[in-house]
Chain A
Amino acid sequence: MAIMKADKLGVSVAKAPSMMTGAIPKKDWWDVPADFKPGNYAYPAKQEIVEYHKFPNPRLWDPESDDWKLPENWKEIILQGLKERLDKFRSLKIFMDCCVRCGACADKCHFFLGTGDPKNMPVLRAELLRSVYRNDFTLAGKLLGKMAGGREMTFGVLKEWFMYFYQCTECRRCSVFCPYGIDTAEITMMGRELLHLVGVNINWILEPAANSNRTGNHMGLQPHTFKDNIEYLCDDIEEITGIRCNPTFNRKGAEVLFITPSADVFAEPGIYTAMGYLLLFEHIGLDYTWSTYASEGGNFGLFTNNEMMKKLNGKMYAEAKRLGVKWILGGECGHMWRVLHQYMDTMNGPADFLQVPTSPITGTVFENAASTKMVHISEFTADLIKHGKLKLDPKRNDHRIATYHDSCNPARAMGLLEEPRYVLKNVCNNFHEMPENTIRESTFCCGSGTGLNTDEIMELRMRAGLPRANAVKYVREKHAVNMLSCVCAIDRATLTSLNNYWNPDVEVCGVSELVGNALVMEGEKERETGLRFEPLAGMEG
C-alpha cells in the first residue's frame, strides 16, 4: 500500500477524528471489531517457516478473510495456555488483577499518540486480554460476567489480539508511569505467546528467528559472507584512514568474544557503527574474535516466546565456551541487551566457565557484570575514555550536531543512560538533548521495534514513530541537529526510515561510529572524510 506523504499524514494525525484529537468513538470498545485492511497488519508467517520452528498449525492463511483456519479446539488451547502462563508468571497475575484504570498510562504510548486508536492505550491493550481472564478465571467474572468487565473468548477477540499485540513494541514506557508498574509489554509478550499456540503469527519475526537459529544471524548470512562483509568494511576503513584492521573469526583462545547485531555487519547505517568497533579494537589492540556461529546479538525470540528466546540466546554462551574466551563484549543493540540483562543468566547461565570481565587496557573490573560476564560496548568505551586510553579528536565530528536517542530497552530494562552520553560528549563537540519528557526513562520508541519494522505496515510505523520524530524535529529546529545517535541496531534501521519521512535532513548513527570518526589511529593518513566517505568540516576543498 502506498504510504501518504508526510505532510498529508501530518494533517491526518492532527485533524482526522481520533481519540487524540478529541473525537470520542460512538461505540463501547468491546463493540468495535478489529478490521484488517491492506497496510494495517503485518503478513502472516509462511507455512514452511512455521514448520521449521515446529510451531503449531502451519498453513496458508489470510488475516483479511474470516476463516483463519484455526484448529477446531482453538479456544480451549488459548484458555489452557493462559492458565499455564498465570501459573508461571506472577507478573501476569498481578497485572491482570491490579489495574484500576486510572488512565495514567493512556497517553504514554507512542502507538496511541500517533494513531489515536483507543485500543492503543496501554490500559485497553491489556483489557483485551484481561476481559477474557476475568470471564474465565475470576469469581467476579464468573458470577457477573459483563458487569464485571468479563468477555468470552471469541474469534473477534482473537482478531483484536492479533491486531493490537502487534501494535505494541514492548517498549515499557507505559510501565514507568503506572502506579503499580503494570508493564503492558509483559502482557503483549503473553498475548503473542498465546497467539502462537494457535498458529497466529507474523513472518517478519519468525523468518529472522529461523535464520538466526540456522545460520547464526537473522539475515541468514552464511559464514563466509559474514566474514567477507566485515572484510569489505576493513577495506573501506583502510581507504579512509590508511589503517588495516585484521579481525579474526571463530578464533579459539581469544580473550574476548564480540557479539553485535548482524545488521551492523551488512546494512547502512549500521555498517558505519561496525567500522567504529573495528577501529576501536584496533586502536587499543584488543585480543578479540568475531563468531560466525553466534553472529546475531538481536534475539527475535524475545518477540516470539520464552522457549525461542532461550534457544537463540543459548548460542552466545555455547560459543564463548567452545572458543574458550574469558568474557563477552556486546555491541550496540537494544533488545539484545534486554535479553542479556534480564534473561540470559537465568535461562542459560551460570556462565562459570567465563571470568568476571576485566578491561585488559585499563584493568577495570566490571563488577556489574560479575555473573553474566557480558559488558556493553558503551560501558567499555566510557571506561577507556575515562582512563585516557583513547586518542581522540572530536573536531572530526564537527560536521555533526548530534542528539541522543535512548533506545527503550537499554533505558527502561537496564538503566544504561549515562555511558553513551559520556562517550558522545567526548567524541563530539556538538551535542544537544531532546526535550526532557522524551529522553532517558521517558524515551520514545522508534515505533517499529519487536519485529514490526516491516514495510507492509509503513504508515503505522510512521504514526507510531511520530513522538520520537517530533522531539528530533524540535532539536533540529532549535539547534540545527543533523545526527540522531543511538545504541540500537533496530533503531538505526527504523529511525532512518522515520527521519527520512518526518525529518529528511537528519541522519542516524551508532555511538561507535562517532567514536571511530574521532579516533586518532597510530600511523594513519590525514583523514579527509568520515566513515561514510562524507567530507569532514574544514576538509571540503
Chain B
Amino acid sequence: MRILTPFIAVLALIAVGLVAAQVPGGQALIGIVLPYLAFALFLGGFAYRVMQWAKSPVPFRIPTTCGQANSLPWIKQNKIDCPSTKLGVIARMFLEVFLFRSLFRNTKAEMHEGPKLVYGSSKFLWLFALLFHYSFLVIVLRHMRLFMDPVPGFVAALEFGDGFLQIGAPVFYQTDAIFLGAIAFLFLRRVMLSNIRYISLPADYFPLFLIFGIALTGILMRYVFRADVVAIKQLTLGLATLSPAIVGQISPVFFIHVFLVCALMVYFPFSKLMHMAGVFMSPTRNMINNSRMVRHINPWNDPNIKPHSYAAYEDEFREFMKDGGIPVEKE
C-alpha cells in the first residue's frame, strides 16, 4: 500500500495530463495557466515555509561537533567539523550542501555471533544521492535553453559537456541516463533494504515516482516521439516573457511532462522536499562552536527562574555545617 498508492497517484496524474492535452482548451490550461500557477505556489510556498522556520528562534547554540574543538593553541583544531569561526561554518556548510559530507561518513553495522558488531564503509547512498542531485541540477539548468533567447553561454557549455559522447542524434545526454539510474537506485534501496522499507512512507515513494515520470516523459519526448522543439521553445519562451501562446502541433507527451512538473512544484513546499532549504538552516550544522567564548542570547530566557538559594540551603543545614567545620554566613 505504501508503494502502490503513490504509484497509482502518479499514474492518475499522467492520465489527467494525457486527457487534458486532448480536450479543447486543455493545452492552454496545462501549457500556460498551470505553469504560472504552480510556479507561484512553489515560490510562495517555499518562501512561506522558510519564513515559518525563521520565525522560531534558535535559543541555544547546539552544533554537533564532529572533530576537535578550538582549545589550547597547540592542540590541532578540526576547523571545519568543529568550527569556531564563521569561515569554518561556511566551509562546513559548503561541504555539506555540495558534497553531502555527512552521508560520506556513512557506515553499515552488522551483528554477528559472539555477539560481535562489525562496521563496514557504506558509500552507495552518498554516491547515488550525489549523482541524483547533480544530474537533476544539470537537467534543470539545461532547460534554461528553452526559457532564454539567446541561450546563455554556460547553458550551451553545459549541454555540450553533457552530450560530449555524441551518441546518436539527437545528441544523447549522459545525465539523463545517470539520473534515471540514480532514481532507480534510490527506489530499489527503499524496497530492498528491509529497514529502509520499514521506515518508508507513501510520501517517500510519491516524489520518486513523480520525478521518474518527469524524467521518462522528457526522455521519450526527446528521443522517441520527437516533439516539435521549435513549437515548444515558442511556448516556453512565451511563458518566460509573459506572452505565452501555443502555436503548431505539440505532442501530448509534452503536456504530460509539463503537468507532472507542475505537480512537483506544487507538492514541493508541503513536503519533505523542503530539505533543500532546511539543510541550510539546521542549527546543529550551521552554528559556530564557540559557546564558551561568546555568549549566545536566548530571546525567551526566563530571568525569574532562580536556583534554590544559598540562604535557604544554609538555613536548612546550618547546624550540620557548623558541626562539620564548614563556614556559614549567619552564625
> Chain B: how many interface residues by the 8 Å CB criterion?
102
- At the interface, yes or no: B107 with Cβ under 8 Å from chain A? yes
Q: Which residues of A contact B76 (CB under 8 A)?
A: 418
Mask: chain B, 56-82; 1 = CB below 8 Å from A; 0 = not:
111111101111111110111010011
Mask: chain A, 293-327; 1 = CB below 8 Å from B; 0 = not:
10000000000000100111111001100100000
Q: Which residues of B contact A417 (CB under 8 A)?
A: 67-69
Partner of A470 from the list B84, B115, B292, B305 (CB cut-off 8 Å) is: B115
- At the interface, yes or no: B43 with Cβ under 8 Å from chain A? no
Mask: chain A, 7-26; 1 = CB below 8 Å from B; 0 = not:
00011011100011110110
What distance in Å separates the Cβ of A224 from its nearest Cβ neighbour in chain B?
3
What distance in Å separates the Cβ of A301 from its nearest Cβ neighbour in chain B?
10
Which of B111, B196, B203, B270 gathers the greatest number of chain A CB atoms within 10 Å?
Answer: B111
Q: Which residues of B contact A14 (CB under 8 A)?
A: 111-116
In chain B, what residue has the closest Cβ to A98?
B278
In chain B, what residue has the closest Cβ to A131?
B201
Mask: chain A, 77-93; 1 = CB below 8 Å from B; 0 = not:
00000000011111111
Mask: chain A, 327-343; 1 = CB below 8 Å from B; 0 = not:
00000000000001111
Per the bound structure, the CA–CA distance linking A116 and B278 in Å amounts to: 30
- At the interface, yes or no: B34 with Cβ under 8 Å from chain A? no
Q: Which residues of B contact A364 (CB under 8 A)?
A: 72
In chain A, what residue has the closest Cβ to B62?
A342
What distance in Å separates the Cβ of B246 from its nearest Cβ neighbour in chain A?
32
- At the interface, yes or no: B86 with Cβ under 8 Å from chain A? no
Q: Which residues of A contact B204 (CB under 8 A)?
A: 100-101
Question: A140–B270 contact, CB under 8 A?
Answer: yes
Per the bound structure, the CA–CA distance linking A172 and B65 in Å amounts to: 10
Partner of B103 from the list A104, A213, A382, A412 (CB cut-off 8 Å) is: A104
Question: B283–A94 contact, CB under 8 A?
Answer: yes
- At the interface, yes or no: A467 with Cβ under 8 Å from chain B? yes
What distance in Å separates the Cβ of A14 from its nearest Cβ neighbour in chain B?
4
In chain B, what residue has the closest Cβ to A422?
B75
Question: A311–B307 contact, CB under 8 A?
Answer: yes
Per the bound structure, the CA–CA distance linking A232 and B275 in Å amounts to: 57
Per the bound structure, the CA–CA distance linking A382 and B284 in Å amounts to: 28
Main secondary structure of the interface of A (DSSP, over half): helix
> Chain A: how many interface residues by the 8 Å CB criterion?
122
Question: A90–B58 contact, CB under 8 A?
Answer: yes
Q: Assuming A139-B270, A179-B103, A180-B282, is B199 touching A228 (CB within 8 A)?
A: no
Q: Which residues of B contact A521 (CB under 8 A)?
A: none
Question: A415–B307 contact, CB under 8 A?
Answer: no
In chain B, what residue has the closest Cβ to A109?
B109
Mask: chain A, 103-137; 1 = CB below 8 Å from B; 0 = not:
11011100001001010010110010000000000
Per the bound structure, the CA–CA distance linking A370 and B294 in Å amounts to: 7
Question: A470–B306 contact, CB under 8 A?
Answer: no
Q: Which residues of A contact B62 (CB under 8 A)?
A: 91, 183, 186, 342, 413
Q: Assuming A94-B283, A345-B296, A349-B295, is B193 touching A415 (CB within 8 A)?
A: no
Q: Assuming A88-B59, A138-B270, A415-B65, is B117 touching A374 (CB within 8 A)?
A: no
Q: Assuming A14-B115, A364-B72, is B295 touching A91 (CB within 8 A)?
A: no
- At the interface, yes or no: B98 with Cβ under 8 Å from chain A? no
- At the interface, yes or no: A459 with Cβ under 8 Å from chain B? no
Q: Which residues of B contact A214 (CB under 8 A)?
A: 308, 313, 316
What distance in Å separates the Cβ of B292 from its nearest Cβ neighbour in chain A?
4
- At the interface, yes or no: A149 with Cβ under 8 Å from chain B? yes
In chain A, what residue has the closest Cβ to B69?
A415
Mask: chain A, 381-414; 1 = CB below 8 Å from B; 0 = not:
0110010000000000000000000000001111
Question: A382–B203 contact, CB under 8 A?
Answer: no
Mask: chain A, 482-523; 1 = CB below 8 Å from B; 0 = not:
000000000000000000000000000000000000000000
Per the bound structure, the CA–CA distance linking A442 and B72 in Å amounts to: 23
Per the bound structure, the CA–CA distance linking A149 and B108 in Å amounts to: 27
Binds B, one of A40-48, A248-256, A264-272, A449-457: A248-256
Question: B194–A367 contact, CB under 8 A?
Answer: no
Q: Which residues of B contact A251 (CB under 8 A)?
A: 327
What distance in Å separates the Cβ of A291 from its nearest Cβ neighbour in chain B?
9
17 interchain pairs (CB within 8 A)? A14-B115, A89-B57, A94-B281, A94-B282, A97-B278, A103-B195, A113-B111, A179-B102, A181-B102, A227-B326, A293-B310, A314-B307, A342-B61, A370-B292, A417-B69, A419-B75, A442-B105
The 6 A-B residue pairs with the shortest CB-CB distance, nearest first, are A415-B69, A224-B324, A314-B307, A98-B278, A415-B65, A181-B284
